[in-house]
Structure formats: C-alpha cells, structure tokens
C-alpha cells in the first residue's frame, strides 16, 4: 500500500472530499437511502470499534493480569491480520497524538468552514489526554479560547476545571473539545470585541465530522455534552436540558451524558436567587456522579454530598 493508512480510511477520506466538493459547487442535497446515510455516519466509529474488538480478542489467554486489566482496546497488541490486509495500527498515545494532529491540520485547511464566511480564522482544537476515558464537548470557542487557541480557558472553562477537579481528575486526564472549531463571527467579525455567539446548524454541520473522528481516535468510555447546542449537534435531538439529562444517549456506541453548560451555572450564580443556582449545581454534580460511577471511579462520601444541602 502506498500510504500507511488503512484502505477503509482512504476510502472514507476520498468520499468525504467528493462530498465537500459537491457542497462547494452549491449542492445542498444528495439522494441517499436512510440506511446508507446511517452507515456512512457511523462508519469511522464502527470501523474503529471493530478493529479494537479484533485486538482485544487477540490478547493471549495467558497474558499477565496487568495486560488483561488494561482498558479495552487502548493498549492491546495488534498482530498482522492473517488475510493479508495491512495491520491496524496499535493504539498508543503516540499514535493517537499523530491522528489528532492530522485532524487538526485538516481543520486548518477546511474549505467548507471558510466558505461559510461566518466563522473566524483561528482554529481552536482540543486539549487533554488523547486516550482519555472521559471526553467533554462544548459548543464553540469564545474570545478567550480564541486568544489562547485552547478550548474552555475563559470563565466557563474555569468552572469546568473546578468540576473536573471535584471529580478527582485533572484537565490533563480528560479530553476537552468543541463541536465547532472556530469562534463564530458576530456581523463581519471586525468589531466583535469579546462578544460571542452560539454556533448555528450550518456551522455545526461543517465541523461535526472532525469531532466524530476525534471520538474515533480517543475512544472515550463516556462523553459529557455540555449544554443544549453540544447535545443537539451530537445527538441530533433538541429539547430542554432538563429532559435530555434524564434520558440515556449514545453517540456511535459511546454513552453520552447531557448536562448544563458551565456558563449557565455562571449566569445563575450572578442572579439573586442563590437557591436556584445551588439546585442547578447539584444537578450538574449528580450528572458527574453518574459519569464517575459509569467509569468505575471511587466516589467518597464527601463527593456524594456536594451541593446536597
């Protein structure tokens, strides 16, 4: 094979280029059976999951306990397949960084994103552990994030950092990203100052494929969607957070927990009704306890009691 990439990756890349060209030519619709659209949508993830499964099954029965106890698909060896196809790359941190770097470069040259004219220039990609079990997803960067070229570093980001710390984790241990990789423009963006806006559905559509690929690379055990825009972009499902957070969701086989955006908590904190703000914080915290339980993390009595009185 000419390139080191798996043939399925190459085919998906080629298909994605064709579709983007069609879009740039002004095509807004493509006739496709619902089943085909679903298969294509889930392809990168199901490809990744299938290759992980193959690797997990090949861990020898007599492997030392430390090897079998490793996270599924994250560290297992990958032998050359017997059918003569190229070996699936071993999932190491170096591999994940390289893949994420490749996605970052594609975001930088995303013609579809530029052609919208509604997104600013600077790419704000992602931060954290490229093989994290826990992934947080927000909507789009704001002014502070654009300045530092990192997601969630402004006031909402500081709130998120406190939530992560309360879970007994650090920002370096989790993966933090956004659906949209550029700060949305207000007007023509020239006199925008520090004001921000939510991304619209077209902007989400232009960027979601990058996030889909990040998820396939990082392969988290659980995703937290922060706020309605992230939830809608990821799950294609609208509605108030109050009801979304009560339901169970999945994105390409990965469980998704929907919770309030940290800036919603900040807004409530600045309002006079302290009880309301506390109740919202408790709800977010209950969602995080659920996440910790699903990840098999220990939860102390102190942690269980946060914001309950």
Q: Which residues here bind ligand URA, judged by CB under 6 A?
A: 138-142, 145, 151-152, 154, 156-157, 178
CB of 116 to ligand URA, least distance (A): 18
Using CA atoms, how far apart are residues 189 and 122, in angstroms rounded to an integer? 12
Q: Taking the alpha carbons of 126, 132, 136, 139 in that order, is the dihedral positive or negative? A: positive
CB of 119 to ligand URA, least distance (A): 14
For ligand URA, the nearest residue by Cβ is: 138
Kindly compute the dihedral angle of the four CA atoms of residues 156, 160, 161, 165, in this order, to the nearest 10 degrees. Answer: 150
Nearer to ligand URA, 7 or 201 (CB): 201
CB of 239 to ligand URA, least distance (A): 18
Kindly compute the dihedral angle of the four CA atoms of residues 168, 169, 170, 173, in this order, to the nearest 10 degrees. Answer: 160
Nearer to ligand URA, 9 or 178 (CB): 178
């800036």: which residue's tokens?
A: 263
- Nearest 5°: phi and psi at 287? -65, -40
Token pair of 132, please? 């994290």
Nearer to ligand URA, 27 or 165 (CB): 165
Nearer to ligand URA, 44 or 154 (CB): 154
CB of 247 to ligand URA, least distance (A): 21
Nearer to ligand URA, 45 or 126 (CB): 126
CB of 264 to ligand URA, least distance (A): 10
CB of 99 to ligand URA, least distance (A): 21
Nearer to ligand URA, 140 or 257 (CB): 140
């Amino acid at each position: 094979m000419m390139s080191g990439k798996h043939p399925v990756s190459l085919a998906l890349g080629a298909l994605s280029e064709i579709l983007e060209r069609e879009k740039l030519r002004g095509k807004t619709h493509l006739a496709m059976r619902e089943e085909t659209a679903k298969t294509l949508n889930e392809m990168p993830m199901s490809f990744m999951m299938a290759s992980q499964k193959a690797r997990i099954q090949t861990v020898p029965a007599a492997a030392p306990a430390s090897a079998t106890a490793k996270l599924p698909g994250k560290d297992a060896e990958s032998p050359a397949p017997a059918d003569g196809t190229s070996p699936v790359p071993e999932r190491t941190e170096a591999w994940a960084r390289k893949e994420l770097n490749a996605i970052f470069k594609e975001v930088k040259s995303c013609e579809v994103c530029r052609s919208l004219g509604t997104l600013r220039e600077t790419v704000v990609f992602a931060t954290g552990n490229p093989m994290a079990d826990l992934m947080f997803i927000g909507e789009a960067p704001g002014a502070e994030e654009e300045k530092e070229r990192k997601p969630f570093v402004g006031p909402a980001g500081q709130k998120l950092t406190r939530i992560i710390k309360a879970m007994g984790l650090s920002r370096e241990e989790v993966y933090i990203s956004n659906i949209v990789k550029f700060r949305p423009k207000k007007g023509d963006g020239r006199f925008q100052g520090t004001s921000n806006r939510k991304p619209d559905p077209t902007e989400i559509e232009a960027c979601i494929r990058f996030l889909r690929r990040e998820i396939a690379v990082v392969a988290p055990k659980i995703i937290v969607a922060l706020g309605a825009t992230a939830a809608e972009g990821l799950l294609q499902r609208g509605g108030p957070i109050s009801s979304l957070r009560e339901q169970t969701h999945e994105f390409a086989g990965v469980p998704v927990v929907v919770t309030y955006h940290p800036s919603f908590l900040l807004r409530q904190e600045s309002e006079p009704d302290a009880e309301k703000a506390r109740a919202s914080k408790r709800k977010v915290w209950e969602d995080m306890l659920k996440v910790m339980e699903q990840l098999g993390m220990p939860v102390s009595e102190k942690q269980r009691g946060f914001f309950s009185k």
